[in-house]
Amino acid sequence: MFAKTFLTAAAILCCGSVWAQSTHPDNGNIVQHYPNGSKKLTASFKNGQPDGTWTRWHDNGNKSEELVYREGKIEGKGTMWYRNGSKRSEKYFENNVEHGTSRAWYPNGGKQQEIEMRHGEPVNIITWNANGNLTAEFHVTDGKRTGMSMAWHNNGNKRSERVYVEGVLVSEQSWDEQGNPIGGPNMDE
């Protein structure tokens, strides 16, 4: 459940906007503009389906999003940018399904997350805070946490180590912000 929720939140970060359905040619291109005259969208169709590079722009002229379609399905790299022009996220698709390492960045350019996707399912997830410190790293198999999951405090000190087997927590150790152990299965609480 956690992995699905995390994935949904992550999907919004890249390629999460919904392309408006409008009248389009069976074959050819469409171009939409903002009221100020700047480009809003360029898109192409083949046999009535999206085909080729689709690009959106912010109203300030900076790119917002770019996807590549092949026969109506997203294929290859999808990228999003913040209004200021810095890269927001990138994901990779095979036959309309996320596959490969997706990345997201904070507006200042610092890493926010990396998610390794296999056929639409997350398998490795790493997150950072806005200061560049690791906040979490965990693995997922069949939608369930598996193996060692680690989390860190905002100051960079380790917060917890948890071991999961098929989504079931079997071992846990935690530390306070100063690095002192707290709780855990083999400790008096």
Last residue of a domain, one of 54, 75, 94: 94
> Residues 89, 62: one domain?
yes
pLDDT at 23: 61
> Residues 103, 90: one domain?
no
pLDDT band at 168 (very low <50, low <70, confident <90, very high): very high
pLDDT band at 25 (very low <50, low <70, confident <90, very high): confident
Q: What is the mean pLDDT of the chain?
A: 87
**166: three-class secondary structure by DSSP:** coil
pTM over 0.95: no
Q: How far is CA 79 from each of CA 14, 66, 82, rounded to the nearest angstrom?
A: 7, 5, 10
Distance (Å, rounded) from C-alpha 78 to C-alpha 46? 20
> Residues 109, 150: one domain?
yes
> Residues 84, 40: one domain?
yes
171 part of a folded domain: yes
The string of pLDDT tens digits covering residues 68-112 is 999 999 999 999 999 999 999 999 999 999 999 999 999 999 999
Residue 30 lies in domain: 24-94
If one counts the domains in the chain, the total is: 2
pLDDT band at 183 (very low <50, low <70, confident <90, very high): confident
Residues with Cβ < 8 Å from 97, sequence gap 6 or more? 119, 120
